[in-house]
Amino acid sequence: MFQTLSDRLGAIFQRLRSRGKLTEADVGEVLREVRVALLEADVNLKVAKDFIAAIRERAVGAEVLESLTPAQAVIKIVNDGLIDLIGRASAPVRLAPAGPSPIMLVGLQGSGKTTHAAKLALRFKELGRRPLLVACDIYRPAAITQLQVLGEQIDVPVFSEADADPVAIARHAVEEARRVGYGAVLLDTAGRLQIDEPLMRELEAIKAATAPSDILLVVDSMTGQEAVNVAKAFDARLDIGGIILTKVDGDSRGGAALSIRAVTGKPIKFIGTGEKVSALEEFHADRLVSRILGMGDVLTLIEKTQRVYDEQQAKELATKLRRQSFTLQDFLDQLRQMRKLGPLTDLVKMIPGLGKMVPTQDIDEREVARIEAIICSMTPRERTEPGILNASRRRRIARGSGTQVQDVNRLIKQFESSRQMMKQLGRMRGLPRL
């Protein structure tokens, strides 16, 4: 989502590094370019002006103009300013001290409330708090069915009632949660194509009936500055506790994420990074700014990896690498685990410096699918003993995977090269024994 802004700021700072000592005029020119870059990214005009004014005083101070590395000093000031703009402290979901915690999800139709109710339910389930999904949207066709399908995918129960109004459904769901012992009650409320009085009255009634511990506004980042206006309107009526910004994996310019906290004063708590139920990240301003400025986001990558791999899996993999018993089946398993982390283009951006070495436009996600198809076309013995793959076997595998024999040959060659490298590493002195 922030690719355009990241490219613009990267180009500005690259030119800055080549200038050595900076004058006040140099800093002023850089800040004007940063302001233009923010406006092109659809950042609110007042927010952009206030941001530049806030960092100008520090940027033209002695700490920059007399610094031996003035470019790095300016980048740090911009980095800190962006973090302050978005909100330095993280804001977790508010939970009740005892009993069930009703959490309302509100927003316009099409913003992704139902999907993100399921994403949050999965997050609470992983944390050990028994979640309950509640279908309060009785107006949109198939809304209840959609929530039930998502609930089945993550093995979370869905509360619904056929002949009841949304307020009664929400109230009965909280009573059921208190009786059964559910920890988090996620209320998937109805939306409209635009804000209207009947919608707001209904949401206010649900709030009064359930006394939610938190109210989360689900905002589509693709709507740009309109997302800020939507947040202001919902906050005025419901006093929302935070925001879930969805579709940040799209091609929007990112201005909503940089403006919404400054305009509303409400924190962004989560960002939706894809269509999968697991594609939800806690929002951390410092990590997001690090990505925007091309400095990676190792902490988020580690957290993603920890959710996919457990300690035992990591030890077993390390043992196989040490003993050179890593097979094509193991490679396929690791490939599938890696795909759970998200698109390769996103993973590359999280590793500092790698985004510049490997441009995202050079990454072909289809290559991963081709490799998976080739290995799946092999027999179990062929995956374990690739040395038996003669010409006729390779032709059969190519036909079965819809690829060319050259593709099969390339994969086998790369795999054997990797195994040889692992073998050489295993012979190096000083490596710990597993």
Residue 228's pLDDT is 84
Report whether 105 contacts 228 (CB < 8 A): no
Residue 254's pLDDT is 67
- Return the higher-pLDDT residue of 332 and 47: 47
- Return the higher-pLDDT residue of 307 and 264: 264
Mean confidence (pLDDT) of the chain: 80
> What span, in angstroms and rounded, lies between the C-alpha atoms of 339 and 362?
18
**pLDDT class for 372, splitting at 50, 70, 90?**
confident
| % of the chain at pLDDT higher than 70 | 76
**pLDDT class for 332, splitting at 50, 70, 90?**
confident
Contacts of 410 (CB under 8 A, 6+ apart): none
Residue 430 in this model has a pLDDT that exceeds 50: no
Q: pTM to 2 decimals?
A: 0.68
Measured distance between the N- and C-terminal CA atoms of the chain, rounded to whole angstroms? 42
Average pLDDT in the 317-331 region? 67
| Span of 159-173, 243-257, 288-302 with lowest mean pLDDT | 288-302
> What span, in angstroms and rounded, lies between the C-alpha atoms of 240 and 207?
11
**pLDDT class for 348, splitting at 50, 70, 90?**
low
Please identify which residue in the block is written with the tokens 């996919």.
Answer: 308
- Return the higher-pLDDT residue of 292 and 386: 386
Residue 229's pLDDT is 86
Please identify which residue in the block is written with the tokens 């959490």.
Answer: 103
CA 289 to chain centre: 14
> What span, in angstroms and rounded, lies between the C-alpha atoms of 218 and 119?
12
**pLDDT class for 252, splitting at 50, 70, 90?**
low
Residue 358 in this model has a pLDDT that exceeds 60: no
Show the domains of the chain with their CATH numbers: 3-86 (1.20.120.140), 101-295 (3.40.50.300), 302-427 (1.10.260.30)
pLDDT tens string 192-250: 888 889 899 999 999 999 999 999 999 988 777 788 888 889 999 999 999 998 887 76
**Would the CA dihedral through 301, 307, 311, 317 be positive or negative?**
negative
Residue 363's pLDDT is 59
Residue 309's pLDDT is 53
pLDDT tens string 114-138: 999 999 999 999 988 999 999 999 9
DSSP of 296-327:
--HHHHHHHHHHH--HHHHHHHHHHHHTT---
Residue 287's pLDDT is 76
Average pLDDT in the 354-358 region? 47
Element of type H or E holding 113: helix 113-126
